[in-house]
Amino acid sequence: MDTHGLDFTEISRTLGGAGGGSATDWSLISQLLLLHEDQMKTGKKPEVQPISPETPVYSIGVAAQLLDVHPRTLRIYEDEGLIKPSRKGNRRFFSQNDLIWINCIRKMIHEEGISIPGIKKLLRYAPCWEIANCPPEVCTGCTAQVDVAVPRTLRIAGDREAERRAKEREVAARRKAEQERVNRSKTN
């Protein structure tokens, strides 16, 4: 195989000598070499796709650093059920939407004076944008909206399908009302 200038000695040294490195390391290297070889043959670089706001990419340490909080704070929010980071093995990973929601939680706690149990209880009755009093322009552009409120319409208790339909109707009615409010504010 043509190495295209890749230094196998350096790769081997990085992995701890000629016999070093796990099978996974060597498998990954061989995949990278094949990808590199394909790129050299076609002359094309692979397209880089943007990361969606829902993609969990930040470890707990990085997320804590970005939010300027201690990692223990994020664990507390998770234990209290306010956030649900993705898990890969024992590791937690946070998305951009998670970080936005955590900032919103912190604002409610520190600026509005709402306790964690208070936030949990309020979320059962109203979506996050109503609790945090988000202006329409912020709410419509927010990708981290949290709505776990129980539907307020009558339905048969225990019927999950009826609850889902009721929730969808309420969300649609709320969005319609919000859009009408935005349209009124634009005309004034």
Token pair 């409610």 is found at: 108
Domain 49-123 has CATH 1.10.10.10: no
Kindly report, residue by residue over 142-170, the tens digit of the pLDDT.
Answer: 766 676 555 556 556 667 787 777 777 77
d(CA 105, CA 117): 12
Residue pair 104/144 in contact by the 8 Å Cβ criterion: yes
Among candidates 111, 136, 112, which has minimal Cα distance to 122? 112
Query: What ranges in 111-152 are assigned the alpha helix state H?
Result: 116-125, 128-131, 136-141
Helix axes 60-67, 96-110, angle to 10 degrees: 50
pLDDT of residue 50: 76
Look at the pTM and tell me if it is higher than 0.95.
no
Is the per-residue pLDDT at 180 higher than 70?
yes
Mean of the pLDDT values across residues 3-25?
52
**C-alpha span between 181 and 183 (Å, rounded):** 5
Instruction: Report the pLDDT averaged over residues 77-103.
Output: 91
Model confidence over 95-107: pLDDT tens digits? Answer: 988 998 899 899 9
Burial grade of 33 (CB within 10 A; 0-12, 13-18, 19 or more)? middle
> Per the structure block, which two tokens stand in for 10?
């350096």
How confident is the model over 177-185, as a mean pLDDT? 73
d(CA 55, CA 172): 26
- The answer, yes or no, to whether residue 72 has pLDDT greater than 90, is yes
Angle among Cα 8, 10, 12 to the nearest 5 degrees reads: 70
d(Cα 161, Cα 105) in Å, to the nearest integer?
A: 30
pLDDT, one tens digit per residue, over 101-131 is: 899 899 989 998 999 999 888 888 777 777 7
Answer yes or no: is pLDDT of 140 > 90: no
Residue 70 binned pLDDT confidence (cut-offs 50, 70, 90): very high
d(CA 109, CA 41): 56
Q: Where are the domains of the chain?
A: 8-42, 49-123
Give the whole-number percent of the chain exceeding pLDDT 90: 22
| pLDDT score at 18 | 47
| Residue 2 pLDDT exceeds 60 | no
